[in-house]
Amino acid sequence: MKIADIQLREKPLFLAPMEDVTDASFRYVCKKFGADMMYTEFVSSDGLIRDARKSLEKLVIYEYERPIGIQIYGHIPEAMTEAAKMAEAAKPDLIDINFGCPVNKIAKRGAGSGMMREPDKMVAITESIVKNVSLPVTVKTRLGWDEDSKIIVELAERLQDTGISALTVHGRTRAQMYKGEADWTLIGKIKENPRMRIPIIGNGDIASPEQAKEAFDRFGVDGIMIGRATFGHPWIFREIRHYLDTGEKLPPMDVPERVRLAKEHLAKSIEIKGERVGILEMRRHLSCYFKGLPDFKETRLKLVTSLSPDEIYSILDYIEERWGDTETTL
Ligand SMILES: Cc1cc2nc3c(=O)[nH]c(=O)nc-3n(C[C@H](O)[C@H](O)[C@H](O)COP(=O)(O)O)c2cc1C
């Protein structure tokens, strides 16, 4: 499968952009487990052109992450085009536009999924970005604003006509936020439209190898994007790939490998963000890696309160010593 000139394998697996989750250290571990394409957390176009530190930091990407896209969002057309050019200067492989974020603060202002209420503006912004950058441009969006305005099938054609190179669709409306189940039937309908030729990446609720296979088989998508299920479980990419290739399921990852992963992830987080921030931002991942271990409460607490790398490494050694043979289920 190809996005413009970016060659990906068949049935590629995409790591969904997730604010505060898919930072560079998490992307490092997801890549290691076989994520074929990744994106930065979304970057505010207003923040970028204002020179806001947090937005600029998100533009930092590493060679081993390629292919990678920088994702931008915003509602002011000129700011979006300007931000896309700044993102291009950071040399990602593509620029992705977020027209899907449902969060009030963003959507009510007309950015993210708020743009689903103004499809003409969405198309115009996309067109302007495509014209003004030379990298491939992709879009990530939802089915529509609400149940009565699921415009995605027609919108997909219009977006394609602007010259974008791929489209990712999360099978929910803005009104659904993250509730209910993702509806993949409309994603399938986009693929059935004979006018569509750009790759369509389906997204929403994939949490197992079986669901991943079904998404490809039933809805004909070119790629699938996985978000929440990667959290605390980045090896899901390996599990899905193995299942797609062999039809067999891998056993759950054992505790010693989880400990090795936690150490590697922590080291990367500290390397990239420095000791204090690196540890603080790792906490949410660390405890998830050991979810379900019996009598783990006290150790978990130590793991997520320590600010000393040495101490965290010894707690991890202790976890391996004490729970190394415990059967895991996830
Ligand atoms: C914590 C969190 C942060 C997110 N941040 C972004 C983001 O920055 N950009 C984006 O396009 N989508 C974002 N999303 C949406 C996901 O990319 C994805 O579309 C959604 O979670 C559905 O996929 P899933 O069911 O596999 O999680 C976020 C979702 C979550 C849960």
**pLDDT tens across 291-314, in order?**
999 999 999 999 999 999 999 999
Last residue of a domain, one of 215, 246, 277: 246
Atom of ligand 1 nearest to the CA of 182: 25
Q: Which mutation among 20, 26, 228, 237 tests ligand 1's pocket best, with the greatest number of atoms within 8 A of CB?
A: 228
Q: How far is CA 13 from the centre of its chain?
A: 10
- The DSSP 8-state label assigned to residue 63 in this structure reads G
Same-domain pairing of 119 and 7: yes
**pLDDT tens across 221-279, in order?**
999 999 999 999 999 999 999 999 999 999 999 999 999 999 999 999 999 999 999 99
Report the pLDDT value the prediction gives residue 232, as an integer from 0 to 100.
93
- Alpha-carbon span 256 to 254, nearest angstrom: 6
- Alpha-carbon span 261 to 146, nearest angstrom: 40
Same-domain pairing of 288 and 206: no
Which CATH number belongs to the domain containing residue 292 in this structure? 1.10.1200
How many Cα neighbours within 13 Å face the side chain of 53? 0
Catalytic site residue 288? no
Report the DSSP beta bridge partners of residue 192. none
Query: Mean pLDDT across the stretch 162-174?
Result: 97
Which CATH number belongs to the domain containing residue 222 in this structure? 3.20.20.70
Report the pLDDT value the prediction gives residue 330, as an integer from 0 to 100.
79
330: in domain: no
Structure token pair of residue 310: 């040495």
Active-site option among 30, 101, 155, 215: 101
329: in domain: no
On the 0-12 / 13-18 / 19+ scale of CB atoms within 10 A, 76 is middle
- Alpha-carbon span 272 to 116, nearest angstrom: 36
| Pairing state between β 13-15 and 200-203 | unpaired
Gap from CA of 58 to ligand 1 centroid (Å) = 16
Report the pLDDT value the prediction gives residue 312, as an integer from 0 to 100.
98
Last residue of a domain, one of 246, 281, 298: 246
* 63: containing domain: 2-246
Cα dihedral sign, 84-86-87-90: positive
**pLDDT tens across 30-84, in order?**
999 999 999 999 999 999 999 888 899 999 999 999 999 999 999 999 999 999 9
Same-domain pairing of 25 and 156: yes
Same-domain pairing of 148 and 279: no
H-helix segments, 142-235: 152-161, 185-192, 209-219
Q: Tokens 């992450």 correspond to what residue?
A: 65
Report the pLDDT value the prediction gives residue 44, as an integer from 0 to 100.
96
Number of domains composing the chain: 2
Same-domain pairing of 165 and 273: no
Report the pLDDT value the prediction gives residue 287, as an integer from 0 to 100.
85
**pLDDT tens across 183-226, in order?**
999 999 999 999 999 999 999 999 999 999 999 999 999 999 99
Last residue of a domain, one of 204, 229, 246: 246
Which pTM was predicted? 0.97
Report the pLDDT value the prediction gives residue 329, as an integer from 0 to 100.
84
Report the pLDDT value the prediction gives residue 279, as an integer from 0 to 100.
97
% of the chain surpassing 90 pLDDT: 97
Same-domain pairing of 168 and 30: yes
Same-domain pairing of 242 and 263: no
283: in domain: yes
**Chain mean pLDDT for the chain:** 96
On the 0-12 / 13-18 / 19+ scale of CB atoms within 10 A, 252 is middle
**pLDDT tens across 94-120, in order?**
999 999 999 999 999 999 999 999 999
Write out the H or E segment, with its range, that includes residue 294. none
Secondary structure of residue 139 in the 3-state scheme: strand
Report the pLDDT value the prediction gives residue 157, as an integer from 0 to 100.
98
- The DSSP 8-state label assigned to residue 117 in this structure reads G
Report the pLDDT value the prediction gives residue 95, as an integer from 0 to 100.
98
Same-domain pairing of 154 and 275: no
> In this model, does residue 162 exceed pLDDT 90?
yes
Provide the residue count of the chain. Answer: 330
Same-domain pairing of 16 and 125: yes
CA nearest ligand 1 atom 6, residue? 18
